[in-house]
Structure 1
Amino acid sequence: MTDVRELQAQFDAQRRAFAAEPYPGLAIRRDRLARLATLTRRHRDEIARAIGRDFGHRAEAETRLAEVATVLQAVRHARRHLRRWMRPRRAPVPWRLKPGRARIHRQPLGVVGIIAPSNYPWNLALLPAVDALAAGNRVMIKPSEHTPATSELLSRLVDRYFGAEELCVVLGGVETARDFAALPLDHLLFTGHADTGREVARAAAANLTPITLELGGKTPAIVCRDADLAKAAERIAFGKWLNAGQTCIAPDHVLIEASRLGAFIEAMRRTVADFYPRGTASEDYSAVLGARQRARLEGMLEEARDHGCRVIALGERVELPGGGAKLPPTLVIDPHEGLSLMREEIFGPWLPIVGVRDLDAAIGHVNAGPRPLALYAFTDDPGQRQRLLETTHSGGVVFNDTLWHNAVPALPFGGVGESGMGAYQGEAGFLRFSLERSVFLQARHNAVGLLNPPYRRWLLRLLGL
């Protein structure tokens, strides 16, 4: 547990180190990124074991795919493009100011803070750190208290591979997180629930700390009339039940024409049986983290049953040693909008499937709610794709699949409205943690002196002013 004095001392040490080296060169930045990759690659088995202990059971393949591989890919991308990202950009100069020159200088901000969630405790702590280190900053990470084994491992490995003035991990609970958000950081990135995001924004506002909020929301999957139902079911099932639905960009609910609803349900049954031959007990199916989260999910499902919803469980609940549990993939058919299942982000293995009249009705449904972090649509019709892009808002869009936009390092990742503000990843992340500084270089011989008072009216008319 880090107390407020120790937290302030760590921040002050990083601020002093940044003041002594305010613009790290390319070689230093690449070295820091290489150490971050080595830290992750060399200890991938320990990472998988720690996350498995925290969850009760996390499919090892999911940890390697969604925690380890993503960080290594982000480091490779940043190291490959870093020289170009760091290079000053020329800016055009109006003819009235020539032969002066202008450029944009990309400069590190200073000390960047990251508050990471529990659902992907390695990925969501280190992916923003990749961007912040690439931009030349010092970084402080506050990992989740709900994944103590992973947070402790992260702290220990970071101490081994980095100086505390470069990158440090702050352990602690809710009070530590509040103190962390109240530091006068040069940028703060938070990933988590919208309600907590509001608290973080209020704390950061006291210092006018710039923030990036990566939240979540009711991410829809729209299955259009021309979609192949078997393929749509396969891709939605993959996105939904990866990490048992505990993914901020997981499909939250499905919108499909009512006439195709029955066939889609059967396609989902077959897909889940293919994915998990041993049902919920399969090694490839992950547990839901935390008793409080499981109780919240079970309350949602009980409310849906009480209101007469058709509930189709595609497996059985499995109790795990140590008190954890796996909750089965479950379909909820046509729940009404007043249920918590349809008002709140589910963040678990329940999947509402809503029958709608047509694409217009599906678009209306999406636009009636808060703007989601992602939108998934299954159609091969270019016209329908363009219409969805032009008439809806979301952080990201994927056609004929789910999740994979987040695996493209060159694509910005972020939300809009209730699903967040700001984006990071790749060059977007480099810019998020940089100051784009305007630079104007006046030429030795120039004509701007003609604009000094007393103003010449004829010159102003000549210049079109």
Structure 2
Amino acid sequence: MNAKDVMETDNTGTTLRASLDKIRAAYTRSPAPTREERKDRLNRLHKGIIEYKDRLVAAVDKDFDGRAPAETMMAEILPVLEGIHYNKKNLRKWMRQSRRDVPLALMGAKTKVHYQPLGVVGIVVPWNFPIFLGLSPMVGAFAAGNRAMIKTSEFAPETANVLTEMLGKYFSDEEVAVVNGGVEVATEFTKLPFDHLVFTGSTQVGKIVMRAAAENLTPVTLELGGKSPAIIHDSFPVEEAAKRIAFGKGLNAGQVCVSPDYIMVPRSKMNAFVEAFSKAIAKHYPTLASNSDYTSIITERQRDRLVDNIRDAEEKGATIKVINPSNDSFEGTRKLPMHVITDVSDDMRVMQEEIFGPLLPVVPYDKLEEAIDYVNDRDRPLALYYFDWDTARGEKILNETHSGGVCINEVMTHTMVDDMPFGGVGPSGMGHYHGKEGFLNFSKAKAVVRKGRFDGNAWVAAPWNNMFFNIMVKFQLWRFKKP
């Protein structure tokens, strides 16, 4: 019975544990993979993606019942290939043991930090980017010398099937195991005693995953999202800001963890922003229902949730502008046009929950400090976007707000930079991957002291108050006399 069949029929966690034990036993037999072995795994992943890229793109399109191939290529395939290239290029430098300073009390010893693989990394994949958010952390895990188990999303089954075939072709079941199945399987998966667990999803589910991992003291990386704000300064051209925000908000129909979740606009420019944003969206998507460039909502349940949130906002006094340039009918589809929501209040669900769809609340403000306070009064988001040509005010935003990442005069693209860490803070997550921070995240930084033939302790050891001990103490106190 192959790994896929086992995982789909497992309800108790026993088979999952057997799969983990098999991978861990293989790791134990080879706990220190060389740089060439790590590069080989990354190269095989690269070859698999190149061979299967068209099937992966088609699978995502089918799972969404409509997502542009260009969007999947830009947001999922190419970033993983870029990450593989970047990690391979830097592996030698990252793996090098680093020398550290030796305190006087350890005179004669040498110190260093040794970066060691953790073992087996578990990866729970969300449905919105079922390729990138599964394979990107795997790249970091491989670079750090680990093996992996990956739980695919049950809401993207076609993509899961292609990933299962691809990884099964290029990796043995002692290197990578792919787990398919529903909520029950995912629950058992997070209970496994991994050496590290990566979860991408909602804050609510992230809490459940962290509780499950705590039973095994498994360290976790949580990428959770939240309500990522964009603030437009009064001096910034509102049409330019609207154009740049529209590009990001339109991607995957807003089903992105770092999608702009609400926009803060100077009160006098609210109408101008709404009109400019509407025109920008209409330019990108002149039609919707039959437009392959405009992504569908992943499931009927998710679409119903978004429709309910729109209804909730309307009932509580919000003004809704639907951007539907060609007056399309959406009957029989899962597509949902972009909705701009104004006159919002804190009791509306669109201002309480991560939206994860084509809804965009717009909030007025009068002074920049008011906008900063508004953001800081809420949970720390995964991303924050600020539009202002003034560098000093940009630094003020960086210093006075907390978020996982920041773009200035841009949205979302910080996630595509492999030389920077990606991760949340507080309710939007913890831990990082991408780049060097990803390598460190999936490694144990082991402190090492090596002592030679000379043993300084023999000169200062008990009985205390011997001559050498007293000399050492007096010298140290003299050194530290001044702060």
TM-score range for the pair, normalised by the shorter chain length: over 0.9
Match of 2:452 in 1: 443
**Separation of aligned partners in 2, 1:318 and 1:58:** 18
Following TM superposition, the consecutive aligned residue runs of length 4 or more in structure 1 with deviations greater than 6 angstroms are none
Q: Is the 8 A contact 1:318 1:327 kept in 2?
A: no
**Separation of aligned partners in 2, 1:25 and 1:286:** 42
Q: Does structure 1 residue 163 correspond to structure 2 residue 172? A: yes
AA aligned to 2:126 is P
Q: Is the 8 A contact 1:115 1:190 kept in 2?
A: yes
**Separation of aligned partners in 1, 2:54 and 2:35:** 31
* CA-CA distance at 1:269 after TM superposition: 1.8
Q: Is the 8 A contact 1:96 1:463 kept in 2?
A: no
Work out which of the residue numbers 225, 231, 245 in structure 2 matches 1:236. Answer: 245
Aligned residues: CA RMSD: 1.3
Residue aligned with 2:476, SS: coil
Q: Is the 8 A contact 2:287 2:328 kept in 1?
A: no
Match of 1:298 in 2: 307
Unpaired runs of at least 5, structure 1:
none
Q: Does structure 1 residue 331 correspond to structure 2 residue 343? A: no
* CA-CA distance at 1:459 after TM superposition: 2.5
Q: Structure 2 matches for 1:304-319, cutoff 5 A? A: 304-315=313-324, 319=330
Match of 2:280 in 1: 271
Work out which of the residue numbers 36, 45, 66 in structure 2 matches 1:36. Answer: 45
Residue aligned with 2:420, SS: coil
* CA-CA distance at 1:408 after TM superposition: 0.4
* CA-CA distance at 1:283 after TM superposition: 2.0
Which shows bigger deviation, 392-401 or 269-278? 269-278
Which shows bigger deviation, 231-240 or 111-120? 231-240
| TM-score w.r.t. length of structure 1 | 0.97
* CA-CA distance at 1:99 after TM superposition: 2.7
Q: Does structure 1 residue 210 correspond to structure 2 residue 219? A: yes
Q: Structure 2 matches for 1:127-142, cutoff 5 A? A: 127-142=136-151
* CA-CA distance at 1:40 after TM superposition: 1.1
Identical columns (%): 43
| TM-score w.r.t. length of structure 2 | 0.94
Match of 1:114 in 2: 123
AA aligned to 1:428 is E
Residue aligned with 1:251, SS: coil
Q: Structure 2 matches for 1:44-123, cutoff 5 A? A: 44-123=53-132
Q: Does structure 1 residue 458 correspond to structure 2 residue 458? A: no
**Separation of aligned partners in 1, 2:249 and 2:313:** 19
**Separation of aligned partners in 1, 2:140 and 2:393:** 35
**Separation of aligned partners in 1, 2:308 and 2:90:** 47
AA aligned to 1:115 is V
After superposition, the Cα gap between the structure-2 partners of 1:2 and 1:214, relative to the gap in structure 1 and judged at 3 Å, is farther
Q: Does structure 1 residue 245 correspond to structure 2 residue 257? A: no
Which shows bigger deviation, 442-451 or 232-241? 442-451
Cα shift readout 1:307-330 (whole Å, capped 9, x = no counterpart): 22111100156548xx64110011
Give aligned pairs, total.
463
**Separation of aligned partners in 2, 1:336 and 1:5:** 48
**Separation of aligned partners in 1, 2:53 and 2:65:** 18
Q: Does structure 1 residue 428 correspond to structure 2 residue 437? A: yes
Cα shift readout 1:21-75 (whole Å, capped 9, x = no counterpart): 0010011100100111111122111011101111000111110001101110100
AA aligned to 1:461 is V
Unpaired runs of at least 5, structure 2:
1-7, 478-483
Residue aligned with 2:28, SS: helix
Match of 2:3 in 1: none
* CA-CA distance at 1:275 after TM superposition: 0.9
Cα shift readout 1:168-196 (whole Å, capped 9, x = no counterpart): 21111111111111111100010001111
AA aligned to 1:118 is W
Residue aligned with 1:345, SS: coil
